[in-house]
Each structure stands twice: as structure tokens, then as C-alpha cells.
Amino acid sequence: MSLTTEFTTTDGYKLTLNTGLFINNEFIEGSSTIETVNPSTGQVITAVQAAGEKEVDLAVEAAHKAYYGGWKTSNPRERARLMNKLADLVDRDMDELAHIETLDNGKPLTDAKSFDVPGLAAQLRYFAGCTDKVHGKVIETQGKLSYTIHEPIGVCGGIIPWNFPLAMLSWKIAPALAMSNTVVIKTSELTPLSALRFASLVVEAGFPPGVINIITGYGHITGDLLARHNRVSKIAFTGSTAVGRLIMKAAAETNLKKVTLELGGKSPNIIFDDVENLDEAVFWSRLGIYMNAGQVCCAGSRIYVQEGIYDQFIEKFKALAASGTVGNPYDEKTIQGPQISERQFDRVMGYIETGKSEGATCLLGGNRVGDAGYFIEPTIFTDVTPKMKIMQEEIFGPVVAISKFKDVDDVIEMAHDTDYGLAAAVFTSSLKRAITVSNRLEAGTVWVNCYNQISENTPFGGYKQSGNGRENSVYALDNYTQIKAVKINIGL
């Protein structure tokens, strides 16, 4: 059976891809196949191999063997060399990886080229620089020489979502590799293609077999098997809060593996009336909600505008939102692509109808765009109340609810009226207000006078039901590290 497929993107880019499971540096057949669909057209791109219990065992055993076969004690400089080499190959093949990401995910090609693929290379390089900079401590204890050792955990599983396939892949593998862990990554069944192309670069970079394994499958099958596997010592998951609970339960019912979760959000974006440049606040607010068609966990889906500038903000925001091109993601003018699937399209449209039925005003959008694919107009709701479904639940689409507020205490109470705490934003010209409000907000990230600015050297994660642990930056290394204490009696 051939595991190689060829296809051409809508802008004429020809691609050849291996669709097998990447285990032990080889592409192999799975127990079944899954079709992946182009969300811009609704048409099947190709079918990929899916992992069942046998293939999950093979991947974990390959990672386990590689870990104890030398990777656990590998030289930090050698790990760094391999990771930097892999980053160089990502840079070399950036155009191809970006085209695959856009084909399978639907995001604008300009975004894939400016954020997703460069972000993958940046993560690898950042954590390559961390490999030889993790040190223990010497602790003064009477009559004993006490010190700590930072050790890897072992086989680390990663379950990544469909909204940023390459970026989320890098967030899982880069810190794990830096700390000499081996990895088994499960891609989303909706967007497996770019990770499989990346897998071929792992071999070219020279990584030993079994260090990096990439498999595909449904979450309730393959993801559950990985989360429950007794030879997986750590699991990292990005996705919905509901599935995050299942991951924690699976870990608790098996070997109590370490778990980190980056989950949902309903992030508040706060616009104060002293904002220096309202047009800039409008620009960032549009990016905050409509980036990646609203399919962003930290999307600014609740905008709170101080009452003195509310009408002015609404007028400018509506005009800017209506001006953006929604459609072909390969067109440089496009700023918003499709929702990832028909199911997600229906889910978002359901929220729009609920917003209308609950009495909110649909000021803009709310309709399908075109006859093919899963495109939805940028949608704005006003006249909302705090307990409306569109104000409480994560929609994960291009839908924003805008409300007005009186003062700081008023908006802080509104901002906290949610089960989530992933991100927030504050727009103000007052440094004092920016600091005091940021300090009061219960969120893992607070942006001031900007939105959706994420980098490899800054931690990212949530409060409350938005998850636990942090990804990116040196803080992420803690998730992939065990601390050992050694005490030597020196007889003093």
C-alpha cells in the first residue's frame, strides 16, 4: 500500500506528502484511515493513517526505547545542534509547510507564512538554547552536602488541536526535547498534514529513531489510549475544557502521569475612554477576535467599552470589521478564512441564532459567505447581558459581543464573570491604570494596547478552567522536568 499522496492547492502549488504514522523514524500503516477535508471547499484532500491500540503501543515503545537507549543522557549541545538543524529545515521549506497548513486548516496563507511556520522554527531555536542552561542548586544543610538535579521525565505525550497545528506541535515538542525527553504527538484528525510533512524533516535533521513520533487519530480513541498509557510519564493537551477533564481523569485512573492543560477562554478586551488612539484600539480589537476566523483560545470575544466612547468605538469597529475580505485563503487580500469543519460551522451559526433569540442585537454579519466551504461573516452583537449564552460560552468563531461599562470596578466585575481566565487586554493611555487593572485581572496573559501577541520567550497559560501549567519560555521547562535531591553525609 502506497502511503504517498500528491495534490495541488487552489493556487497551483503542487505537494507530495507521506500520509502514514511516523513511528521510529518510519512512516507505517495504521489500523484505519481518516479523510481530511479542505475547509475552504468542503472537499476531501486525502486520507491519512489512523493509530489504534497497536500503533499507539508501537509509538510509545519506540519513544521508551529511544529514551533509555541514549537520548535521556544525550549531550545538551548535541540536542541543541539537532534542534537548530530542524529549525533550519523548517525555514528552508517554509513555503511548502505554509501551503499545507492553509490547505488543511483554511487560515490565510499570509498568516501561515508570518506566524505559524516562523513560530515553529523560533520555538525550536529558543529551546535549543535552553538545553545547557538548566542547573540544579546546592543547598546548605548541617553536616550534609545537599544538591538538586533536574532530570527528564521520560516519554511525553502531546495532544494538539486543529487551530494552529504547527505552532501547537512546537509548543509541545521543543521544551520536551530540550530536557531530553522523547515524545509521541497526536495530531488533530482534522488537520494532520503539516505535522506529517514536518515528520519527514525530523529524519533529515538526523534525530535518532523513536525520539519524535507523530501519530493521527480520533481523540476518543487514539488520544484516550495515549493519555492512559502506562509508559507515558507526562501528557500535554491543548483543546476544550471538557476534553481536558477527560485527560486528567485518564491520567488519574492509570499511572498518575504529569498533566498540563491549555484549555478554553472567554477573554475580555477592555477599552477605556482615555485611550490615546481609538483607531489603534479598533485595529487590535479586530485582530483579537477575527484572527484565524475566531478560532483562537484567547480570542477577545467580549469587548467592554467605557460608556463615554462606546458609540464612537462601535461605529469604527463595525466599519473595519465589514471591510475585511472573507474567502480564498490563498488570496493576499483575505484576512479571514473558513471555520475548520461543517460541524464547527454549524456550531458557530447555532450560537449566532441563540444570540438573536436571547434578545441581543446582531449589528453586523451573522450569515454564511459563499456557497462552498465553511465561511461565516464577521459578526458583532450589541445590547448583550452578562448571562446570555454568547457572553458565557466559548464560541470559537468570528463572533464578538460588545458591552459598555462605567468605571474600573464595574468592568473588573464583568471581566471576571466567566469560568475562564486565559487572557485579557486593556487599552488605556494611563500607565498607572494599565498596571493596576492588569494586576487585578484573573488571566494568564494580559495585553496592554495590543492583542494576540504571543512569543516563544513569554509564558502562556490560564487561570481557572482555562487550564494549568505554562507553555513557552523557560517556565515551560518545569513541565518536562523532575527534581531530584541528593544528600551526602560529609561528617561535619
Annotated catalytic sites, by residue?
A: 262
Query: Which 3 state secondary structure label does DSSP give 445?
Result: strand
Counting Cβ atoms within 10 Å, is residue 357 exposed (0-12), middle (13-18) or buried (19+)? exposed
∠ CA(326), CA(332), CA(336), 5° rounding?
25
Which residues share a beta bridge with 460? Answer: 471
Cα separation, 339 vs 347, in Å, equals 10
Counting Cβ atoms within 10 Å, is residue 483 exposed (0-12), middle (13-18) or buried (19+)? exposed
Q: Alpha carbon 478 to chain centroid distance?
A: 19
Cα separation, 336 vs 108, in Å, equals 7
Cα separation, 363 vs 402, in Å, equals 10
Q: Using an 8 Å Cβ cutoff, are 234 and 157 in contact?
A: yes
Cα separation, 469 vs 479, in Å, equals 7
DSSP state of 13: -
Q: What are phi and psi of 7, to 5 degrees?
A: -155, 165
Cell of 330: 490563498
End-to-end CA distance of the chain: 70
Q: Using an 8 Å Cβ cutoff, are 63 and 130 in contact?
A: no
DSSP state of 291: G
Q: Using an 8 Å Cβ cutoff, are 207 and 187 in contact?
A: no
Cα separation, 173 vs 382, in Å, equals 41
